[in-house]
Amino acid sequence: MPLLEVQKLSVAFPKPGGYEEVLREVSFCLEAGETLALIGESGGGKSVLIEALLRLLPRESRVSGRAFFQGRDLLSMPLREHRSLLGQKIAWIPQAATEALHPLLPVGFQLAEPLLVRGIPRREAYARLVGLFRALDLPEEALHRYPHQLSGGMRQRALVAGALATGATLVLADEPTKGVDVLRKDQTIALFQKSRVLNPGMGLLLVTHDLPFAQALAQKVVVLYAGKVVEEGKAQTFFQGPLHPYAQALLEALPERGFKPLPLGLGREGRGGCPFFPFCPEGSMPCEERDPPLFQTPKGRVRCWRYGDTGP
């Protein structure tokens, strides 16, 4: 059984004049022990996906679909049951480290909180954190400091440590390398790898723009564009040569391959046809009119007319 199986997850937010769809029938699987990188541009709904899984979305949003965690649907289970999973079996590394931390409580306490709430004695909780801090090159005394006394990068790393300290089976990491410099990034990679060894069943859902980081850790890659999955495949083959034009553009924008301007924006909304069409260097007939389905290829699945029959 996959650790996390997301089926047709859709999220829409109310907007004057209707709803804005941010995620459209997103589906993927994450196996135990696997790292899945969720790639896409900012604002593309990646954080929303995590928030949906955590049931932290505002009350007015419309969520449909299912997300099975170890066989149980996170989205429809009773709230109390869901809450008991959080901080124990499921851990979150939020994106905006500055705002995620309570300004008036010491950092150490906040990170230890999920452990303390479960009755784990203070000393042990802090000991775990100290070990992780060391691995991330964070001074032990940072535990006793307040968030505003740490730099942005330090806060981000602290959050990583906090999530790993819980020993959770599923870690949802939202841009864990944001604001973190290269040296520390390597340490973060090392730490995640080590965690996989120490906690063999741990599944890591990695939401990131940071493609080298993703490449170093992921076994599977899912690309989101305009709220839909446009490519899915094994990481190794993906990074050697992605299939979808958008993914190709992403990779080409990397400094190593020479900068190419990346088309921003979510593409055409509600006009039928592939949302990437306006920016696609290879757009042709069917692309303008009909949104392609996901086609299965030997290298993975792609949502692009170039890889499948247009059909009748």
Partner 1 sequence: MRRVLALLGQNLALALLALALNFLLLRLAPASPFAALERDDLGTVFTAEQRARLEAHYGLDRPLWAQFLAYFGRLFQGRLGESLYFNQPVTQVIAPYLANTAILVGLGFFPALLVGLLLALLSVAFHRTPLDGGLFTTMILLKSLPPYFTAMALLLLLAVLWPLFPTTATSLPGMGFGENLRRLFLPVLAYALWEVGTIYLVARGALFSVLGSPFVAYARAKGVPESWVYLRHVLRAALPPLLARITLLLAGSLGGVFFVERVFAYPGLSTLALAAVGRFDYPLLEGVFLVSLGAVLFLNLLADLLLAFLDPRTREAA
Which residues form the interface with partner 1 (CB under 8 A)?
51, 54, 56, 83-88, 91-92, 94, 96, 99-105, 113-114, 117-118, 146, 148
Please give the single-letter amino acid code of residue 198: L
Nearest 5°: the CA angle 279, 285, 287 is 45
Distance CA 262, CA 251 (A): 10
Distance CA 120, CA 108 (A): 14
Paired with 5 in beta bridges are 29, 68
Cα→Cα distances 94→122, 224, 253, Å: 24, 19, 25
Smaller CB separation from partner 1, 32 or 100: 100
Smaller CB separation from partner 1, 104 or 182: 104
Tokens of residue 271, six digits: 């006009």
Q: Could you tell me the smallest distance in angstroms from the CB atom of residue 51 to partner 1?
A: 8
Q: Could you tell me the smallest distance in angstroms from the CB atom of residue 31 to partner 1?
A: 23
Q: Could you tell me the smallest distance in angstroms from the CB atom of residue 67 to partner 1?
A: 15
Q: Could you tell me the smallest distance in angstroms from the CB atom of residue 64 to partner 1?
A: 21
Burial group, residue 78, by CB count within 10 angstroms (0-12, 13-18, 19+): exposed
Smaller CB separation from partner 1, 168 or 247: 168
Tokens of residue 164, six digits: 């790993």
Q: Could you tell me the smallest distance in angstroms from the CB atom of residue 25 to partner 1?
A: 25
- CB count within 10 Å of CB 83 equals 12
Smaller CB separation from partner 1, 95 or 208: 95
Smaller CB separation from partner 1, 122 or 271: 122
Smaller CB separation from partner 1, 100 or 189: 100
Smaller CB separation from partner 1, 94 or 227: 94
Look at the block and give the residue holding tokens 């599977």. Answer: 220
Which run of H or of E encompasses 285?
helix 285-289
Q: Could you tell me the smallest distance in angstroms from the CB atom of residue 6 to partner 1?
A: 18
Distance CA 160, CA 111 (A): 9
Q: Could you tell me the smallest distance in angstroms from the CB atom of residue 214 to partner 1?
A: 23
HSE at residue 218, side-chain half, CA atoms within 13 A, is 29
Smaller CB separation from partner 1, 99 or 140: 99
Please give the single-letter amino acid code of residue 240: Q
Distance CA 22, CA 42 (A): 12
Q: Could you tell me the smallest distance in angstroms from the CB atom of residue 149 to partner 1?
A: 8
